[in-house]
Amino acid sequence: MKIGFIGLGNMGAPMAANLAKAGHEVTGFDTAGVEVEGVANAASAAEAASGAEVVITMLPNGDILRRVADEIVPAMDKGAVFLDCSTVDVASARAVAEKAQEAGLLALDAPVSGGVGGAQGGTLTFMVGGDEKGFNIAKELFDIMGQKAVHCGPSGNGQAAKICNNMILGATMIVTCEAFAMADKLGLDRQAMFDVVSTSSGYSWSMNTYCPAPGVGPQSPADNDYKPGFAAELMLKDLRLAQQAATDADADTPLGAAAMRLYEEFVEREDGKGRDFSAMLPRFEKRGHS
């Protein structure tokens, strides 16, 4: 397939490289002038998009996505697929999809989970909203870049699934860290706590797979001095998107709101920036009940 790839950052570069390695003809563009092995460089986003059967975007936020869409939609051939894999607000995803559809394109929002490791290893999960026909065309690309793609319904639903998932993840990580810090103060050994909770009704991905306590459970960023992994500032971004969506949809999300405030404090007023999101545990260790 002839593919345009716009946004060759931490995630986009390895995703584009995997598509090229699988034999697709990939032309990329990034404002930072990034070079990716096997990927031809275009001089602009419009040039990367023109003549492509699928154009993939992997960009920082909804405003940038809207600007890039203004540039590339007129350059794309009718019937081509506009596949946005960035994590953006639901409203931007729906606005961009509408613009693409009006121009005769097939639009998909397909944010990912799995992080940089998943992008490098081709093991991402794609949560996809939008056109069924577009989904079927993009399926073979999802299979190269990832291990699973779930079609979640119309445009914007991929982003909706992503922020609901990450709202659960943020809140469960916080409460798992709180519980470890409280267990310390109660004199309960961390290994004993893990052995009980990981096989009891308090279990979760945060506890069982990504345990925030160093030396306990499987290897995780906690065992590497909380180097990300999944950075606390990226969790904050997703929790803010969740709160924006909750406001727009008039949904009551008290724990999601509390999780957002805690990560805001941790990243913007404490030492959380650049640390893994599970570094909430050393944060709670230092604090008392207030």
Q: Which residues are catalytic?
A: 162
Q: Judged by CB, which is closer to ligand NAD: 31, or 224?
A: 31
Is 16 in contact with 39 (CB distance < 8 Å)? yes
Quote the least distance from Cβ 239 to ligand NAD, whole Å: 12
Per-residue DSSP letters for 207-268? HHTS-SSTTSSS--GGGGTT--SSBHHHHHHHHHHHHHHHHHHT---HHHHHHHHHHHIIII
β 106-109/124-130 pair status: antiparallel
Side chain identity at 117, as an amino acid letter?
G
Quote the least distance from Cβ 96 to ligand NAD, whole Å: 13
- Report how far residue 118's alpha carbon sits from residue 258's, in angstroms, rounded to the nearest whole number: 29
Both structure tokens of 271? 């030492």
- Report how far residue 240's alpha carbon sits from residue 234's, in angstroms, rounded to the nearest whole number: 10
Q: Judged by CB, which is closer to ligand NAD: 136, or 209?
A: 209
Q: Whose CA is closest to 137, among 166, 106, 168, 99?
A: 106
Quote the least distance from Cβ 199 to ligand NAD, whole Å: 29
Quote the least distance from Cβ 238 to ligand NAD, whole Å: 7
Q: Judged by CB, which is closer to ligand NAD: 217, or 229?
A: 229
Q: Judged by CB, which is closer to ligand NAD: 7, or 256?
A: 7
Residue nearest to ligand NAD (CB): 9
Interface residues with ligand NAD (CB under 6 A)? 6-12, 29-32, 34, 45, 58-60, 64, 67-68, 86-87, 112, 115-116, 230, 234, 237
Q: Judged by CB, which is closer to ligand NAD: 93, or 193?
A: 93
Contacts of 129 (CB under 8 A, 6+ apart): 93, 97, 108, 109, 110, 151, 152, 153, 154, 155, 156, 157, 158, 159, 160, 161
Is 36 in contact with 27 (CB distance < 8 Å)? no
Quote the least distance from Cβ 87 to ligand NAD, whole Å: 4
